[in-house]
């Protein structure tokens, strides 16, 4: 929406210019202005005064005056200069005309940069009363304030919600009691926002409109500080279930100063980065080091004749901030008691968890830590085979038994989707039927997947808990950490869903819902019934145990390898010591200070501007999707896949087709997010390039070599584009230019290449798009590694297989291409993989240790045209376990 706002202003100034030049009449400007008026009521800048001046000039027919001011305001809105340039707030055109004191914001006082934010002020008779209060608050500014803010006065519940949604600059909210529910605006934009949130006047308690608003705002943007100004007694609020949404209750009679100071303090609390702040302080102190870190303080670098450029490149601070000490307030990552502990607690709060652990070796390590901490050898983990390799290796190390469940295949694009809930329930019910349900410890899934499939996390957990109430969930949200800061995506994150389930457990209606369903299901419901029913767990039995890992560096401003583990586990005390051991096992004893600091900082940023940044990333991705798919030339050769192509219709129960389908509203998208089994993360864009005659790897190389555009994932006929909080609209323009360039080159080649050239091109396209290998399902573990697994389920003892291969006598190689391989497939003995084989792309293990190799796997391997296949030796062939050797050894 920030981009839409900038566009609206650009449109208005364009109209104003035409009007001033006599090329258009005033009516066009009036229409454009009317569209902007409502939107601007939700922003502090330009504010009532400038808007009134614009309106007056428009009414007076002063085309030149209107154009001048509109251009200035538009410029300030687009560049956001109003945050620091007080001139932007002035009606007068030049400094000489300005009145000495208009009570304008004293931004940038003392020449030092002070962050700017906006405070939403909800009060009766919003505009007039609000303007007064704003002016009063402005007078309270002091030069020692760490931040500057302006207020956005509104007069109703609906306006407040709209402002919080549309204006990412809002960081705090003050509510005076006595405001109305309905907005006096009837703008379509406002109606669509209110409808999309599913807010209905009938559901809001009139008597407690203020608390109702506070909790709805918290639901939208949990990071906001909310203040209530009330004449009520504190006692009447204290016990109110919604009072938790308030940061502070102030009495209306109290001085405004108290409010002003509270608002600044609230923001300061989010701004504070305990570890980073201390590290900066540490770096400025004169310290002689006698610990084993020659690089600390940089003397070995800056005094050197030979590596001085290292110092010049990185700058002095990084060396001043390096230390291996845990004294001087630096705290220990392995056993934090000071500012790391505090930074982690703040991150837990920001991300909606009970606990947070900073990890400095990437989510690869975070995942292994969770596996080791939670699962004992022999216990079963149900997981997607497409999980990142850290999960599989975690199980090799820990001795857990993987029970692989399959994601739905998207064969035409050589990629997998996500695992249907029915497959997970099926696995649980099979284990139950075989009497081994007690052995299942954890369900482990990737949310969202590399290609953007988002699970219905709440539904998955509820239905699994209905079958086994103490299951642990590990959601690998390596790419999805940012989603916490989007109200649309948040319910689909691990922590968002866990919070919803927790609230549901405490709702008395839940027990009734459970009992009603039990009665309907009867004594011994059939497997078909259980699979077809949306199962409700017993809220009295559930042990809510949810772990999330995220690569903070992949979606937020953390340095590479910065990762977090988020925990919301009611039984955490039962694994606490194991968890600590897991940290000791996997974490480096020399964690990097800069990484820890960057995790602390990433949290600060997301709490203060994450909402706007994520909104921008989503807006950019929607715009890329729209531009590519509707461009007359580019769309001939390229396409970004929409939800309807990425998610089969049977998993889109709401009937949602795609973000770009004409007529799709925000309400449709939100309903899809609430109901559908899978949704697509709009920021992950699969761009089909096979239709332009490129395979993914080729296209990636072309973009990198010729256009300096980097991307990371490819499939046979597609590449993955991602937008993130770092992208701007010029990135879109650049991408489109490049695609247009490439499309033009193809057109030229086709026009000049003659018939032969055309035939070759279309044959290549056909081969890339149609001649795609079937994706092999996981076959099964060899009997030697199936332990006591039953008939119905496929879990296995991967660790034993993995270590069996340590004995060279127990291993053999069979070339992938050749008669021997074919003969073994036809006549046996069965070929059993000795290790993981992981082709990049697609990056999932097509073989795991102990897995029986089938025709499908060999066919897929032979058709693979990728260079990088981890665990596969091209010269020697497939590395196999000689089962006779293994059984002979265990018989001895
Ligand atoms: C990247 C990734 C990981 C590993 O994270 P690192 O931070 O690179 O160690 C784990 N899981 C998934 C799904 C990933 O995409």
Distance 281 CA to ligand 1 centre (A): 33
Task: State in Å: Cα 339 to ligand 1 middle.
Answer: 27
CB 885 within 8 A of CB 809: yes
Mean pLDDT for 328-336 is 87
CA of 7 to the centre of ligand 1 (A): 37
Phi–psi pair at 671, nearest 5 degrees: -65, -40
Does the Cβ of 420 fall within 6 Å of ligand 1? no
Ligand 1 neighbour 370 (Cβ under 6 A): no
> Average pLDDT, whole number, for the chain?
91
pLDDT at residue 569, as a whole number: 98
Q: Is 362 in the pocket of ligand 1 (CB under 6 A)?
A: yes
Mean pLDDT to the nearest integer, 845-859: 94
Top mutation candidate among 361, 388, 415, 599 for ligand 1, by most atoms within 8 Å of CB: 388
CA angle 756, 759, 762 (to 5 degrees): 150
Share of the chain above pLDDT 70, in %: 95
Confidence of residue 132 (pLDDT cuts 50, 70, 90): confident
390 CA: nearest ligand 1 atom:
10
Confidence of residue 302 (pLDDT cuts 50, 70, 90): very high
Residue nearest (by alpha carbon) to ligand 1 atom 11: 388
Find out whether the beta carbon of 273 lies less than 6 Å from any atom of ligand 1: no
Distance (angstroms) between ligand 1 centre and the Cα of 450 equals 10
In ligand 1, the atom with minimum distance to the C-alpha of 446 is: 13
Percent over 90 (pLDDT), the chain:
75
Say if residues 860 and 773 touch (Cβ distance below 8 Å): yes
Q: Which residue puts its alpha carbon closest to atom 8 of ligand 1?
A: 362
Q: How far apart are the C-alpha atoms of 383 and 386, rounded to whole Å?
A: 8
- Give me the mean pLDDT over the 843-861 stretch: 92
477 lines ligand 1 (CB under 6 A): no
- Mean pLDDT confidence for 842-848: 85
Q: How far is the CA of 756 from the centre of ligand 1 (A)?
A: 45
- CB of 390 shorter than 6 A to ligand 1: yes
Cα 445 to ligand 1 centroid, rounded to whole Å:
12
Half-sphere exposure of 2 (CA within 13 A, CB side): 21
Cβ-based neighbours of 204, under 8 Å, separated by 6 or more: 157, 181, 212
Indicate whether 707 pLDDT > 70: yes
Helices (H), 272-411: 274-283, 299-302, 308-314, 316-320, 339-351, 362-374, 389-398
Distance CA 358, CA 597 (A): 10
In this prediction, residue 634 carries a pLDDT of 97
CA of 414 to the centre of ligand 1 (A): 20
Confidence of residue 892 (pLDDT cuts 50, 70, 90): low
Is any ligand 1 atom within 6 A of the Cβ of residue 563? yes
Closest Cα to atom 2, ligand 1: which residue? 478
What is the CA(832)–ligand 1 centre distance, in A?
A: 28
CA of 24 to the centre of ligand 1 (A): 56
**Domain at 608-769, CATH from 3.90.1150.10, 3.90.470.20, 3.90.650.10, 3.90.1720.10:** 3.90.1150.10
pLDDT digits (tens, 9 = 90+) for 403-447: 999 999 999 998 899 999 999 999 999 999 999 999 999 999 999
Instruction: Report the nearest atom of ligand 1 relative to the CA of 367.
Output: 10
Ligand 1, atom 1: nearest CA belongs to which residue?
478
Q: Which two tokens stand for residue 382?
A: 């149900």
Query: Mean per-residue pLDDT for 724-752?
Result: 93
Is the C-beta atom of 481 inside 6 A of ligand 1?
Answer: no
Q: What pLDDT was estimated at residue 878?
A: 95
Is the distance from CB of 846 to CB of 775 less than 8 angstroms? Answer: no
| Boundaries of every domain in the chain | 1-106, 107-269, 355-603, 608-769, 783-891
> How far apart are the C-alpha atoms of 310 and 304, rounded to whole Å?
10
Q: Widest CA span of the chain, in angstroms?
A: 102
- Kindly report, residue by residue over 104-114, the tens digit of the pLDDT: 444 444 456 89
363 C-alpha vs ligand 1 centroid, how far in Å?
5
Q: In angstroms, what is the span from residue 460 Cα to ligand 1's centroid?
A: 22
From the alpha carbon of 553, which atom of ligand 1 is closest? 7
Residue 780: what pLDDT? Answer: 94
Mutate which of 448, 551, 843, 845 for ligand 1? The one with the most ligand atoms within 8 Å of its CB, which is 551
Residue 15 confidence (pLDDT): 94
Q: Output the CA 478–ligand 1 centroid distance in Å.
A: 5
Name, in order, each residue with C-beta under 8 angstroms of 628's C-beta and a sequence gap of 6 or more: 634, 635, 638, 639, 640, 687, 736, 739
Distance in angstroms (rounded) separating the CA atoms of residues 54 and 75: 15
pLDDT at 102: 43
CB of 363 sitting under 6 A from ligand 1: yes
Asked whether the predicted pLDDT for residue 58 surpasses 70, the reply is yes
827 falls in which pLDDT band (50, 70, 90)?
very high
Quote the ligand 1 centre to 479 CA distance (angstroms): 8
Tell me, what's the pLDDT at 106?
A: 47
Across 848-877, average pLDDT? 90
Pocket lining: 388 vs ligand 1, CB cutoff 6 Å: yes
854 C-alpha to ligand 1 centroid (Å): 29
Mean pLDDT of 802-813: 94
At residue 104, the pLDDT reads 46
- Taking 80 as the threshold, does the pLDDT of residue 683 lie above it? yes
- Measured from the CB, is residue 478 less than 6 Å from ligand 1? yes
Residue 552 CA, ligand 1 centroid: distance in Å = 10
Mean pLDDT of 12-17: 94
In CATH, 355-603 is 3.30.420.10: no
Supply the pLDDT for residue 116: 96
Cβ–ligand 1 contact at 221 (below 6 Å)? no
Topology of domain 783-891 in CATH is: Ornithine Decarboxylase; Chain A, domain 4 (3.90.100)
Atom of ligand 1 nearest to the CA of 364: 9
pLDDT of residue 109: 46
pLDDT for residue 216 is more than 80:
yes
Pick the residue whose CA is nearest to atom 14 on ligand 1: 478
Q: Which residues of 551-583 are buried (b: 16+ CB within 10 A; e: fewer)?
A: bbbbbbbbbebbbbbbbbbeeeeebeeebeebb
- Reported as a single tens digit per residue, the pLDDT across 749-787 is 999 989 999 999 999 999 999 988 888 899 999 999 998
Mutational test site, ligand 1, from 360, 367, 386, 390, max ligand atoms within 8 Å of CB: 390
Considering Cα of 369, then 370, then 374, then 380, what sign does the dihedral take? Answer: negative
Q: What is the DSSP letter of 881?
A: E
Q: Is 103 left (phi over 0), alpha (psi -120 to 50) or beta?
A: left
Topology adopted by domain 107-269: Rossmann fold (3.40.50)
Whether ligand 1 lies within 6 angstroms of the CB of 476 is answered as yes
| pLDDT tens digit sequence for 470-485 | 999 999 999 999 999 9
For the segment 618-647, the average pLDDT, to the nearest whole number, is: 95
Q: pTM for the whole thing? A: 0.95
Give the pairing of strands 545-550 and 639-640. unpaired
């Amino acid at each position: 929406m920030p981009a839409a706002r900038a566009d609206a202003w650009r449109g208005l100034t364009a109209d104003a210019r035409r009007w001033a030049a006599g090329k258009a009449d005033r009516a066009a400007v009036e229409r454009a202005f009317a569209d902007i008026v409502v939107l601007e009521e939700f922003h502090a800048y330009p504010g009532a005064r400038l808007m009134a001046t614009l309106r007056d000039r428009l009414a007076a027919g002063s085309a030149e005056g209107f154009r001048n001011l509109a251009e200035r305001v538009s410029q300030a809105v687009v560049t956001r200069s109003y945050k620091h340039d007080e001139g932007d707030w002035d009606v007068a055109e030049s400094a000489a005309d300005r009145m000495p004191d208009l009570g304008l914001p004293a931004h940038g006082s003392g020449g030092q940069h002070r962050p700017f934010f906006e405070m939403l002020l909800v009060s009766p008779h919003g505009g007039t009363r609000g303007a007064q209060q704003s002016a009063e608050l402005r007078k309270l500014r002091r030069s020692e304030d760490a931040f500057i803010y302006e207020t956005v006065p509104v007069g109703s519940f609906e306006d407040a919600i709209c402002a919080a949604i549309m204006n990412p600059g809002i960081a705090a909210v003050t509510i005076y009691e006595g405001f109305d529910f309905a907005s006096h605006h009837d703008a379509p934009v406002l109606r669509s926002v209110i409808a999309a949130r599913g807010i209905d006047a009938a559901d809001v308690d009139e008597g407690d409109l203020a608390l109702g608003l506070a909790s709805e705002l918290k639901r939208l943007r949990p990071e906001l500080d909310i203040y209530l100004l009330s004449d009520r007694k504190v006692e009447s609020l204290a016990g109110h279930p919604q009072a938790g949404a308030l940061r502070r209750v102030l009495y209306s009679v109290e001085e405004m100063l108290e409010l002003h100071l509270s608002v600044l303090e609230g923001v300061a609390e989010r701004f504070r980065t305990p570890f980073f702040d201390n590290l900066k302080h540490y770096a400025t102190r004169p310290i002689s080091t006698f610990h084993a870190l020659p690089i600390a303080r940089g003397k070995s670098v800056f005094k050197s004749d030979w590596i001085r450029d290292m110092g010049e490149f990185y700058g002095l601070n990084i060396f001043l901030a390096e230390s291996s000490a845990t004294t001087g307030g630096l705290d220990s990552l392995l056993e934090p008691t000071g500012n790391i502990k505090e930074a982690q607690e703040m991150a837990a709060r920001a991300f909606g968890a009970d606990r947070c652990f900073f990890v400095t070796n990437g989510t690869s390590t975070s995942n292994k830590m969770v596996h080791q901490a939670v699962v004992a050898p022999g216990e079963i983990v149900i997981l997607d085979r497409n999980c990142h390799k850290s999960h599989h290796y975690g199980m090799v190390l820990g001795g857990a038994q993987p029970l692989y469940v399959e994601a739905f295949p998207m064969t035409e694009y050589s990629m997998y989707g996500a695992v249907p809930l029915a497959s997970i329930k099926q696995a649980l019910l099979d284990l139950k039927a075989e009497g081994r349900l007690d052995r299942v410890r954890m369900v482990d899934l990737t949310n969202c997947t590399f290609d953007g499939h988002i699970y219905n996390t709440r539904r998955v957990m509820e239905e699994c808990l209905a079958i086994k109430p103490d299951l642990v969930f590990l959601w690998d949200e390596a790419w999805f950490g940012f989603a916490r800061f989007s109200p649309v995506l948040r319910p689909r994150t691990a922590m968002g869903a866990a919070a919803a389930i927790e609230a549901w457990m405490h709702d008395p209606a839940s027990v009734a819902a459970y009992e009603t369903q039990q009665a309907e299901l009867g004594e011994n419901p059939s497997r078909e019934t259980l699979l077809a029913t949306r199962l409700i767990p017993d809220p009295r039995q559930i042990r809510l145990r949810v772990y999330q890992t995220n690569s903070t560096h992949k979606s937020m401003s953390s340095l590479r390898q910065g990762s977090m583990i988020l925990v919301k586990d009611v039984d955490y005390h039962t694994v606490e010591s194991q968890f600590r051991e897991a940290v000791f096992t996997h974490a480096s004893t020399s964690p990097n200070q800069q990484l820890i600091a960057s995790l602390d900082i990433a949290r600060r940023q997301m709490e203060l501007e994450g909402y706007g940044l994520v909104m921008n990333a989503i807006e950019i991705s929607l715009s890329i999707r729209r531009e590519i798919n509707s461009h007359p030339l580019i769309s001939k050769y390229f396409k970004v896949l929409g939800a309807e192509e990425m998610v089969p219709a049977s998993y889109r129960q709401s009937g949602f087709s795609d973000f770009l389908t004409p007529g799709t509203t925000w309400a449709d998208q939100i309903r899809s997010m609430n109901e559908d089994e899978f949704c697509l993360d709009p920021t992950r864009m699969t761009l089909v390039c096979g239709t332009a005659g490129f395979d993914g790897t080729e296209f990636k190389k072309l973009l990198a070599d010729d256009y300096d555009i980097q991307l990371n994932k490819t499939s046979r006929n597609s590449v993955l584009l991602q937008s993130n909080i770092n992208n701007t609209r010029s990135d879109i323009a650049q991408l489109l230019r490049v695609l247009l360039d490439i499309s033009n080159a193809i057109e030229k080649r086709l026009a000049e290449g003659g018939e032969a050239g055309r035939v070759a091109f279309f044959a290549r396209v056909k081969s890339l798009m149609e001649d795609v290998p079937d994706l092999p399902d996981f076959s099964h573990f060899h009997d030697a590694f199936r332990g006591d697994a039953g008939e119905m389920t496929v879990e296995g003892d991967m660790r034993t297989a993995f270590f069996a291969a340590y004995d060279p006598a127990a291993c053999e190689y069979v070339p992938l291409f050749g008669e021997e391989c074919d003969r073994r497939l036809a006549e046996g003995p069965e070929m059993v993989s000795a290790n993981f084989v992981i082709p990049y792309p697609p990056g999932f293990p097509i073989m795991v240790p102990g897995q029986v190799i089938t025709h499908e796997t060999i066919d897929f391997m032979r058709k693979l045209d990728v260079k990088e296949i981890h665990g596969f030796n091209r010269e020697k062939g497939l590395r196999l376990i000689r089962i006779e050797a293994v059984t002979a050894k265990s018989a001895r």
